């Protein structure tokens, strides 16, 4: 027999979630090797996210089977109120599996998704939402202009040429173009020819400017739109995430970016914040024996073999 009444019955109101949920996916299986600075990168990412987003939001973190140190940090952030929703998986369910839970479960009308290695600049969220709310039939908005495969935004150009002012030129400055690609492990030499031979599409609509393109690593979208693409069935933890890019374009949804960089990829180190991505650093890397292509290829293959044996 029950004793007394549940105190919750006396509660007349419940807290309402913010209109926007910022969702971050974390995966730090250990804090050495490739992931040595991973926890520091995560901390820098979340700190910059909150600094001046331009709009209020709730933060949801989905941890995809990280080590104890990373989980402890996330739990501590949740306990002090800096993370509103925390999901902890005891194993890596892949990005597709994580997306299925994040995109279905986030309470906000708008979801701003990001990988856990993103650095944010002031007004990154408000500028993204401005584009999302101004342009019609938007699939996703990324808070940084960079050059993406035209095949992934063909529907955007088709719409813009009929309904907006649409111009093709080199709108993304060389420095902005290069700094992002350097964060992906490329060199300046790799990018000179690509930059010279490619262009950007600038779209102006109702007084708001956007660049054609977007990407799965960071974006803002309506939850109702994202749910049209669930569930994601990916056979590998990574490497198939462009499914979202492709499927949005095939459906005719606009894929857009802000016109100036409001997020940056830190990758797996704080090198960008330490100023280690300048020309001097490039020259040092180029002269290192460890950057000699055959040696680098062998060492990376050994690293990948070890990683798969322990964490695959």
Write the pLDDT tens digit of every residue in 215-234: 999 999 999 999 999 988 77
The verdict on residue 13 lying in a domain is no
Q: Are residues 283 and 259 in the same domain?
A: no
How far is it between the farthest Cα atoms of the chain? 78
d(CA 225, CA 211): 20
Q: Are residues 217 and 289 in the same domain?
A: no
Q: Are residues 197 and 237 in the same domain?
A: yes
pLDDT of 103 > 50? The answer is yes
The verdict on residue 102 lying in a domain is yes
Which letter does DSSP use for residue 215 in this model?
A: B
Q: Are residues 115 and 161 in the same domain?
A: yes
The verdict on residue 88 lying in a domain is yes
The verdict on residue 166 lying in a domain is yes
Q: Are residues 75 and 143 in the same domain?
A: yes
Q: Are residues 123 and 101 in the same domain?
A: yes
Domain residues for 112? 20-265
pLDDT digits (tens, 9 = 90+) for 255-304: 999 999 999 999 999 999 988 765 434 333 444 444 445 565 566 566 56
Where b means 16+ CB within 10 Å and e means fewer, 133-152 reads eebeebbbbbbbbbbbeeeb
User: What is the chain's length?
Assistant: 312
Q: What is the CATH number of the domain that holds 201?
A: 3.90.550.10
Written as six digits, the tokens of 169 are: 């030129």
- List strands edge to edge, sheet with 165-169: 85-89, 58-64, 20-26, 110-115, 218-222, 138-142, 254-257, 208-212, 200-205, 165-169
The verdict on residue 241 lying in a domain is yes
CA-to-CA dists, residue 268 to 55, 154, 309, angstroms? 28, 32, 21
Q: Are residues 250 and 303 in the same domain?
A: no
The verdict on residue 271 lying in a domain is no
Written as six digits, the tokens of 228 are: 């049209």
Q: Are residues 87 and 174 in the same domain?
A: yes
Alpha-carbon 89 to chain mean position: 20
d(CA 37, CA 116): 12
Question: Would you state the pLDDT for residue 301?
Answer: 60
């Amino acid at each position: 027999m029950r004793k007394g009444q549940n105190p919750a019955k006396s509660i007349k109101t419940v807290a309402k979630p913010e209109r926007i949920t910022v969702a971050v996916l974390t995966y730090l299986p250990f804090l050495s090797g490739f992931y040595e600075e991973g926890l520091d990168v995560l901390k820098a990412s979340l700190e910059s996210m909150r600094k001046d987003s331009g709009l209020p939001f709730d933060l949801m973190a989905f941890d995809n089977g990280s080590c104890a140190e990373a989980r402890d940090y996330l739990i501590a952030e949740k306990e002090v109120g800096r993370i509103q929703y925390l999901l902890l998986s005891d194993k890596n369910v892949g990005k597709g599996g994580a997306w299925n839970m994040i995109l279905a479960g986030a309470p906000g009308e708008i979801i701003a998704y990001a990988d856990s290695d993103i650095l944010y600049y002031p007004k990154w969220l408000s500028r993204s939402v401005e584009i999302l709310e101004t342009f019609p039939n938007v699939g996703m908005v990324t808070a940084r202009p960079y050059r993406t495969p035209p095949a992934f935004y063909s529907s955007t150009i088709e719409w813009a040429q009929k309904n907006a002012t649409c111009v093709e030129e080199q709108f993304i400055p060389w420095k902005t173009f290069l700094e992002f690609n350097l964060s992906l492990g490329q060199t300046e030499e790799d990018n000179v020819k690509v930059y010279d031979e490619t262009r950007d599409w600038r779209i102006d609509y109702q007084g708001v400017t956007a660049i054609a393109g977007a990407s799965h690593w960071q974006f803002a979208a309506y939850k109702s739109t994202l749910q049209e693409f669930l569930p994601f069935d990916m056979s590998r933890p990574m490497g198939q995430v462009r499914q979202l890019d492709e499927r949005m374009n095939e459906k005719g949804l606009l894929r857009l970016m802000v016109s100036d960089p409001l997020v940056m990829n830190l990758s797996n180190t704080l090198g960008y914040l330490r100023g280690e991505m300048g020309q001097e650093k490039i020259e040092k890397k180029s002269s290192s024996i460890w950057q000699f292509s055959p040696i680098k290829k062998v060492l990376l293959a050994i690293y990948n073999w070890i990683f798969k044996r322990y964490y695959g």
